Structure 1
Amino acid sequence: MSETRVDGTDVRTAHQDLHSEQGALRGEHPGRSRNPVIKVADLAWLEFEKPDLDRAEVFARDFGFGVAARTEGELWLRGTFAGSPCMVIRKGRTSRFIGPAFRAAERADLDRLARATGTAVRESDVPGGGRVVDLLDPSGFPVRVVHCGEQLPALPEQQPLLLNVGTNHRRVNATQRPPREPSRIQRLGHVVLETRVFTRALDWYLDTLGMIVSDFLFLDGQRERGPTMAFIRCDLGSVPADHHTLAMHLGPGTGYVHSAYQVTDLDSIAAGGEYLKERGYKRSWGIGRHIQGSQLFDYWRDPDRFMLEHFADGDLFTRDVEPGWAPMSTSGLAQWGPPATRDFLGASPSPQRVRDVIEALRGDNEMDPARLFGLLKAANS
């Protein structure tokens, strides 16, 4: 449904000018819930298990994280911004993603959420304390909603370089030498998940956590069947929020795709990438600039094959901006940069991927042959 701003402009027209050539057609998914249980304020952190915390810490420092806390069984990682840690890695038998934790805007939101979902509020194990509600989303991911106690203090920033642009000469009698060092992480930006039950999972995040959609993607020739990917942000009202805090797409598997961490600027991304390359890490895709979200990006694999992204200069939207709609395609992933790699797209065949496809086509979910072929077509378009 279209809305009108106080200045008389139509929000649907405004969103087309801002970020998408297409808006919703009549009857399509509105991209937000009429009466959500709560409205989360942001991602708090992501949870992983890994068998080797020493190796995980080496990569974390090389990638640009700071260490907030370390015990024999847990590694808490942070950025330079004040707030909560942005990742916890617990010692486990295998390397696996557990799930995301979202930050509640107010302590009372946890009570409201617990009553609505039949769960309980308990003490959190985050450094500094706090309270948490544990949920399970329709895909099977454990989802925590937390209200943290003590906040981590800010750390020194990696300063952006002064740039000479056109006739605006900010740097005179000084050379430009970005240091070859890790791209210092500022904060956790977003996580991307794959699911076989896309519509159910999407509605759950909108209805339960009050998130709203920035952009929908659909399969070419199958728009009438609904979207197959959504870039979802927090609803902070008139306060600008990241274009996406969570992104989800339909696929034959259920799992983590990547997570993204903000750094200072393009030089931080590039110099940090050289630092990682010199230490033998594998770049998955980059450097480039995305279309949905507009951020500069650079994707890397850690020693356990998890994909992590350095990003900078992403879009920020208020609640006024309605969802854009666009077809899924590999060419539509970036405005500029090298072609998306098979590694980034997850297009390299593997026994696990074959098992995922067979299981998905046999199961009670949203995958069927038409959707599968549509996804394959999008990956090659």
Structure 2
Amino acid sequence: MFDRTDRHGPHTGLHSEHGALAGEHPGRAKNPVIKVHDLAWLEFEKPDLPRAEVFARAFGFTPALSTEHELHLRGTDPGAPCVLIRKGARSKFLGPAFRAGAPGDVLRLAEATGRRVTPLPEALGGIAVDLADPSGLRVRVVSDLDELPALPPQEPHTFNFGHEVRRANLTQRPPREPARVQRLGHVVLQTTRYRKALDWYLEHLGLIVSDFLYHPGQRERGPVMSFIRCDRGATPSDHHTLAMVLGPADRYVHSAYQVADLDALAAGGEYLRDRGYHHSWGIGRHIQGSQLFDYWRDPDGFMVEHFSDGDLFDDTLEPGWAPMSASGLAQWGPPATADFLGTRPGRESLRELRAMLSALREENEFDGRRLLGLLKAARS
């Protein structure tokens, strides 16, 4: 019989409550240029906007703008759209936009980087400064946006927890319908220049690290993944707004969108499944961030996540450190799939293999030992 105190269980050492060792990365910059408040939106190009809109509605977005050349997708929360999609010859992730934390921060960032401030399109309002991170990804910081009003939300259910009765003489019948996306939560990026990119985001945008992961047996070489949050001082913010991982190619990994609760996530997933969309992994609960998750792929192959009940940290918590492993991705739920891990045979895994061979020949942070560490983590 399994002993719950067994120190050799699959999750031993994976909960990263333990902090840095002497000399390890502090997880924040001493004097960042600005401190962004949140992600504003993500930008994509796709060749088939009508197809993208059909999936978006099934996933739980509401179109705020739909034309022959552009599609803006929003959640029920007030503010800016979550996703901007422009018509293009092929599917491509263009980059994230972050909302500045204070008036004048866009001007301050532009002056510090020698970049020009430009007006945003009339449908969005406001101004932006465009930068490039060390991976070459366009990173936009915006402010003074026109605010979309709130939409009717999907109300969370009332639960009877144990012997605590909150619902009597009433049934629980969540309909199988699209989950109503509330807001954009985070984006995950892979980069061949992880440490340079990490420091760039901390120094320019004032982000701070919630958790670091390192390859098993390679902690002395430093972290290879970080979950990074906005610094809002005493006001708690999402455990991660941006996550970055070292890998053989610079690419989008996935983005996550908050829904009301587990029923919204599960019933919304069944709605997607009924319509033949590709389920990648879930349902489960993550370790870093603690959120309930369910992963899907849109018709263009981009991975998107429904999540709920995530951790919120203020600026007092220092980074946790833990080894990277496939079993360490979830506290409970089915094992991480080959599709989620990028190892499923097909075009994507072949593209990643080619990227590995190319990265090993180039000067970057992804070397042979890192490759062995990544393979070990994926098998664990």
Q: Same fold (TM over 0.5)?
A: yes
Q: Which runs of 5+ in 2 are unaligned?
A: 1-14
Is the Cα contact below 8 Å between 2:80 and 2:145 reproduced in 1? Answer: no
Deviation (angstroms), 1:68: 0.8
Q: What residue in structure 2 maps to residue 61 of structure 1?
A: 57
d(CA) in 1 for partners of 2:106 and 2:372?
Answer: 42
Structure 1 position 267 matched with structure 2 position 263: yes
Q: Which amino acid letter does the alignment assign opposite residue 33 of structure 2?
A: V
Query: Does the C-alpha gap of structure 1 residues 148 and 60 become closer, same or farther in structure 2, counting only changes over 3 Å?
Result: farther
Aligned equivalents of 1:368, 1:20: Cα separation in 2: 26
Aligned to 1:313: 309
Determine the structure 1 residue equivalent to 2:334: 338
User: Partners in 2 of 1:257 and 1:140 — Cα distance?
Assistant: 16
CA distance in 2, matches of 1:272, 1:28: 42
Q: Spell out, residue by residue over 1:233-252, the C-alpha distance to the aligned partner (whole angstroms, 9 max, x if none).
A: 00000000000000000001
Residues 290, 155 of structure 1: alpha-carbon distance in 2 compared, 3 angstrom cutoff: same
- 2:260 and 2:303 mapped to 1: Cα distance? 20
| Residue in structure 2 matched with residue 170 of structure 1 by the alignment | 166
Paired with 1:128 and 1:370, the residues of 2 have a C-alpha distance of 45
- Report if aligned partners of 2:211, 2:319 keep a CA contact under 8 Å in 1: yes
Check if 1:254 corresponds to 2:253.
Answer: no
Q: Partner residue of 2:34?
A: 38
SS at match of 2:223: coil
- In the other structure, the counterpart of 2:80 is 84
Check conservation: 1:42, 1:102, Cα contact below 8 A.
Answer: yes
Name the residue aligned to 2:107.
Answer: 111
Following superposition, the deviation at residue 279 of structure 1 comes to 0.2
Counterpart of 1:51 (choices 42, 47, 50) is 47
> Does residue 242 in structure 1 map to residue 238 in structure 2?
yes
Give the aligned residue type for 2:358. Answer: E
Q: Is 1:377–2:376 an aligned residue pair?
A: yes
Residue in 2 that maps onto 1:362 = 361
1: CA distance between counterparts of 2:17 and 2:30? 25
Q: Give the drift of 1:125.
A: 2.0
In 1, distance between residues paired with 2:16 and 2:253?
24
Q: What is the one-letter code of the residue matched to 2:222?
A: G
What residue number does 1:16 align with? none
* Letter paired with 1:355: R
The aligned residue for residue 279 of structure 2 is 283
- 3-state SS of 2:140 partner: strand
Name the counterpart of 2:143.
Answer: 147
Q: Shift in Å at residue 127 of structure 1?
A: 2.3
Q: Which secondary structure does the structure 2 equivalent of 1:56 belong to?
A: helix
Given the alignment, which residue of 117, 127, 134 partners 1:131? 127
**Percentage of pairs with the same residue:** 68
Instruction: Report the counterpart of residue 9 of structure 1 in structure 2.
Output: none
Residue by residue over 1:114-164, the C-alpha shift from the partner in whole angstroms, topping out at 9 and shown as x without a partner, is 011110111012624000000000011100000033200000011111111
Task: Between 123-132 and 286-295, report the one with greater CA deviation.
Answer: 123-132
Could you report, residue by residue, the CA deviation over 1:219-267 in whole angstroms, capped at 9, with x for unpaired residues?
1111111000000000000000000000000001110000000000000
Partner of 2:320: 324
Q: How many residues align?
A: 363
- Contact 1:265–1:312 (Cα < 8 Å) also in 2: yes
Q: Which amino acid aligns with 1:44?
A: A
| Structure 1 Cα separation of the partners of residues 111 and 324 of structure 2 | 38
| Whole-Å separation in 2 of the counterparts to 1:343 and 1:53 | 25
Can you list the C-alpha shifts for 1:140-194, whole angstroms capped at 9, x where unaligned?
1100000033200000011111111122211111111001110100000000000
- 1:300 aligns to what? 296
Separation in structure 2 between the aligned mates of residue 380 and residue 329 of structure 1, nearest angstrom: 7
Distance 1:280-1:254 versus aligned 2 partners, 3 A rule = same
Aligned residue identity for 2:248: P
Give yes or no for contact 2:283–2:333 (8 Å, CA) kept in 1.
Answer: yes
Q: Which runs of 5+ in 1 are unaligned?
A: 1-18
Report the more deviating stretch, 70-79 or 286-295. 70-79
Q: Normalising by structure 1, what TM-score?
A: 0.94
Query: Contact 2:120/2:126 (CA < 8 Å) preserved in 1?
Result: yes
Q: Aligned in 2, Cα 1:300/1:126: closer, same or farther, shift over 3 Å?
A: farther
Question: Does residue 179 of structure 2 align to residue 202 of structure 1?
Answer: no
Match of 2:117 in 1: 121
Partner amino acid, structure 2, of 1:369: G
Q: How does 1:156-235 map to 2 (within 5 A)?
A: 156-235=152-231
- Do 1:121 and 1:132's aligned partners in 2 also have CA atoms closer than 8 Å? yes
Conservation of the 8 A alpha-carbon contact between 1:49 and 1:90 = yes
Could you say what secondary structure the match of 1:41 adopts?
Answer: strand
